[in-house]
Amino acid sequence: MFLVCNGIQTIFATKFVYMRFRNIVLVFSLMASSVFAWAQEKPASRLLSRLDSLLTEEEQSEEMLEHLRNMPNIEVGKGISFEPQNKLYKMTMRFRMQNMLAFDFDDDFSHTDTEARVKRLRLRFDGYIFSPKLLYSIQLGFTPYDAKDIPNGNVNIVRDAMVYYMPNDHLSLGFGQTKIKANRARVNSSSALQFVDRSIVNSEFNLDRDFGFFAEYYKPLFNDFNMALKGSITLGEGRNWSTSDKGGFAYTGRVELFPLGRFKALGDVAEGDFEREEKVKFLIAGAYSFNNNTTRLQGQNGEYIPNDEMRNLHSYFVDFILKYNGFAFYTDFMGRKTDNPLFTGDPSTCIYTGNGLNIQTSYLFPKNWEIALRNSTLFPDKKVQPLVGYKNYNQTTIGVTRYLIGHSLKVQADASYNHQANPADPTYNRWEFRFQVELGL
């Protein structure tokens, strides 16, 4: 005890050390107050500006301020950012996870399955190197759901690995692997959903990720009217496929129109109206993709086409979004066509051709509780109905979300009822209940 007291007296013997100790205490107090602010869903201010408000001019140390200017900027939902004073690079690191529990029941409401797992665990790096016009984006997925085996045996951990060149605010040119900009639900991040997961329509018809060249162009046309053009030329076999000695390429284009202006905070890529648009905003968009001689049943997804019977796939997408004062409405229609969806060498396999329609609506209450309703229906073509096992497949889902820090920290639960017309297997699961916690930095 004597040694401890003696040590403390020695530490405070000089005014310089005393000031340094007091500054450290203030910094830790500031960090604690920032965490409290995040929990209250208030935007976090810059660390330096908070310090300036706490310290008097006499107490401010130039050396300490210099260190703080070079500290990483940490903000929930925007990651941990590093940027040196010479501005030669910037890196923002983020992570997120989704922990999910689900129960399935049959028509008699007898329990059939339980699913409990970390559904998604992602690590992401974004920033620029040398110039703010030269950007990069990297995303890795570490769960079995993210790293599903692909038919050619390649490892499937890398989700995004992109280099972008942005000569101005309107144009972006990219090279690497990322999402194909086709349907709205796929463009949305899985971290910004108002249900536990995307719809059955998206699961069947989306184009997912691929490797190639990507371009986006945004332009205000007149008054509040905005337009966006997005296109890509990709390998056509999906992410991490690497080589293709048989197939052709996939060509995709998308047009987006914002007649009343862009949504707040990129609201076109986040479900719900968390920003509470003060005026009505809506989006009308359409996309088309041609996959030449694909070797997989869904183009960028699915198993190998049997006996190398390659097909040309035509995919089409139309979607609409409307948001106003906490209310949101979405609908997207999509489908796939090919000349011959059946295979003579394997009569039990087919390419799923047909259409799908998804409609969902939601309202965000003032205390950030949200109620959402979704109805999704698959309409397979008559030729493939005997193989897919139904005439049509409808799923109705009701969801409840409590947003603690926007989409970065939320608790979700939803319940779904499944109905198949003329099912080949009448014992399919009718009810599904899911619970999920999403946490991201």
Could you write out the DSSP letters of every residue in 389-439?
T-SEEEEEEEEEEEEEETBTEEEEEEEEEEEEES-S-TT---EEEEEEEEE
Q: Radius of gyration over alpha carbons of the chain, in Å?
A: 26
Per-residue pLDDT of the chain (441 residues; tens, 9 = 90+): 333 344 434 433 443 334 444 443 344 344 444 433 443 444 444 444 544 554 445 455 666 555 555 566 666 667 899 888 888 899 999 999 999 999 999 998 999 999 999 999 999 999 999 899 999 999 999 999 888 888 888 888 999 999 999 999 999 999 999 999 998 888 888 889 999 999 999 999 999 999 999 999 999 999 999 999 999 999 999 999 988 777 789 999 999 999 999 999 888 999 999 899 999 999 999 999 999 999 999 999 999 998 888 999 999 999 999 999 999 999 999 999 999 999 988 999 999 999 999 999 999 999 999 999 999 999 999 999 999 999 999 999 999 999 999 899 999 999 999 999 999 999 899 999 999 999 998
Numbers of helices and strands, H then E, in the chain: 7, 18
Give which of 102, 92, 31 is closest to 436, Cα–Cα.
102
Cα separation, 161 vs 251, in Å, equals 20
Cβ neighbors of 140 (< 8 A, separation 6 or more) are 122, 123, 124, 157, 158, 159
DSSP H or E stretch at residue 67: helix 62-69
- Token pair in block for residue 370: 């949200």
- Identify the three-state secondary structure at position 376: strand
Whose structure tokens read 């183009």?
A: 299
CA-to-CA separations, 102 to 169, 369, 412, in angstroms, rounded: 43, 21, 12
pLDDT at 244: 75
CA-to-CA separations, 276 to 208, 226, 425, in angstroms, rounded: 29, 20, 44
pLDDT at 266: 85
- One-letter amino acid of 168: N
